[in-house]
């Protein structure tokens, strides 16, 4: 992978991760990855390949054993713990498989939560929440509680929360993992349009080839090592087929992937 210097939003350089314990376990080995500003990259691989470990390291939740992670040219792992929390809140956006919405808050309150922690003015928060709700088509559920909405709506709300502070990098961990195929398509379409319109850099970790086909580029890892990467051409359909093919080469023994799913 070639570093594109100024253009790179994320640079992962020679990152390895070893979990110490009774039995030391090597989760990642010499991973290099560069994501340009405005790029939408998918990470795929079988269970236990190290996808989530990689994501956690980029998300600054976990630290690499060797190597470094640069976000927008800075190494967040050098920050003190509290500054790190603020860095996450201001520079990164997160979307999770289990939505991670607080059920005691309404959708609107969930969305503005990162801003309230920063002490943003109420007027500005209301305005921003309104804008993003309109953009993501969730205006009519803003006053509802999270237990009153569907999974698809919940994930949209989670995306809205991740986007409200206009993060430099949006990280999505299996965002379609808990959704049916219709909702999955909605959410992925939404992420794609955010990426295209707002030029938000995105990284997606997924099992789902359908979801991965919305990316510009998909990187495959296996046993903690880089395996291959493929770029999307003009057609998403072709790209989807290419992903399926790579996956079948990637591992004969895993049943994680559906053979065909259109």
Partner 1 sequence: MTFRQFAFKNVTRNKRLYAAYFLSSMFTVMVFFTFAIFAYHPALTGDEMDSYVTQGMNISGGIIYVFSFFFILYSMSSFLQSRKKEFGLLIIQGMTIKQIRLMVFLENMLIGFFATVGGILLGLVFAKGILMVAENVLVIENKLNFYIPMEAIILSFVSFIILFFVISLFVSYVLRSKKLTELIRGDKQSKGEPKANIWLTILAVILIGGGYTVALLVRGVGVFIAMLPVIIVVSIGTYLFFTQLSVFIIRQLKKRDTFYWKKTNMILFSDLSFRMKDNARTFFMVAMVSTVAFSAIGTLYGFQTFLTEGIKLVNPNTFTYQADDSKRTEDIDFITSTIKDENMEADQEEMVLRYYPLEDKNVIIAKESDYNRFAELIGDDKIEVGEGNIRVIKFGDEGLLYTMDTDTSEVITLTSGETLKKNETIIESKALPAMYHYYVVSDRDYEKLGDPEDERYFSAWQVTQGKERVIGAAEKITEKVSPYYFTSVDLNVYEINKGYAPIMFVGLFIGIVFFVSAGSFLYFRLYTDLDTDKRKFHAISKMGLTSKELKKVLSRQTAILFFTPLIVALIHGAIALNALANMFNYNLAKESIIVLSVFSGIQIIYYVIVRFFYTKQIKQVL
> For binding to partner 1 (CB under 8 A), which residues are involved?
59, 61, 81-82, 84-90, 92, 94, 96, 100-105, 109, 112-114, 116-117, 119, 122, 125-126, 145, 147, 161
- Residue 254 CB, nearest distance to partner 1 (Å)? 27
Any idea which residue has 């965002």 for tokens? 175
Which of 238, 222, 13 is CA-nearest to residue 230? 238
Compute the least distance from the CB of residue 4 to partner 1, in Å: 28
Interatomic CA distance for residues 10 and 70, integer angstroms: 6
CB-nearer residue toward partner 1: 102 or 249: 102
**Smallest gap from residue 213 Cβ to partner 1 (A):** 26
Which lies closer to partner 1 via its Cβ, residue 29 or residue 52?
52
Q: How far apart are CA 61 and CA 57, in angstroms?
A: 6
The residue (of 119 and 252) whose beta carbon lies closer to partner 1 is: 119
- Number of Cβ within 10 Å of residue 239's Cβ equals 22
Extract the tokens encoding 30.
């010499």
Of 247, 217, 214, the closest CA to residue 230 belongs to 217
- Is the Cβ of residue 145 or residue 222 nearer to partner 1 in the bound state? 145
Instruction: Judge whether 72 and 5 are in contact, CB under 8 Å.
Output: no
Judged by CB, which is closer to partner 1: 123, or 182?
123
Give least dist CB 167 to partner 1, A.
11
Q: Which is nearer to partner 1, 109 or 216 (CB)?
A: 109
Checking DSSP bridges between strand 40-44 and strand 25-36, what pairing results, if any? unpaired
> What are the E-state strand segments in 145-224?
169-173, 201-205, 217-222
Nearest approach in angstroms of CB 172 to partner 1 is: 12
Separation between Cα atoms, residue 159 and residue 249, nearest integer Å: 32
Question: Least Å distance between CB 55 and partner 1?
Answer: 11
């Amino acid at each position: 992978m070639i570093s594109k210097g100024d253009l790179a939003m994320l640079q992962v350089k020679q990152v390895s991760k070893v979990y110490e314990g009774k039995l030391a376990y090597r989760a990642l080995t010499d991973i290099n990855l560069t994501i340009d500003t405005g790029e939408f990259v998918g990470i795929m691989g079988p269970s236990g390949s190290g996808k989530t470990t990689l994501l956690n390291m980029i998300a600054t939740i976990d630290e690499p054993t060797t190597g470094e992670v640069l976000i927008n040219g800075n190494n967040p792992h050098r920050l003190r713990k509290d500054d790190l929390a603020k860095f996450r809140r201001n520079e990164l956006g997160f979307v999770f498989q289990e939505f991670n919405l607080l059920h005691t808050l309404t959708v609107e309150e969930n969305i503005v939560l990162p801003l309230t922690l920063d002490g943003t003015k109420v007027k500005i928060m209301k305005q921003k929440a309104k804008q993003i709700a309109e953009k993501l088509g969730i205006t009519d559920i803003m006053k509802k509680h999270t237990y009153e909405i569907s999974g698809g709506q919940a994930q949209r709300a989670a995306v809205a929360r991740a986007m409200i502070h206009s993060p430099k990098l949006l990280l999505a961990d299996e965002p379609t993992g808990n959704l049916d195929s219709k909702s999955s398509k909605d959410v992925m379409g939404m992420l794609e349009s955010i990426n295209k319109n707002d030029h938000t850099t995105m990284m997606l970790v997924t099992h789902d080839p359908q979801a991965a086909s919305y990316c510009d580029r998909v990187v495959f890892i296996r046993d903690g090592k880089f395996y291959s990467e493929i770029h999307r051409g003009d057609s998403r359909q072709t790209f989807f087929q290419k992903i399926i093919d790579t996956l079948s080469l990637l591992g004969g023994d895993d049943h994680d992937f559906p053979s065909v799913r259109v």
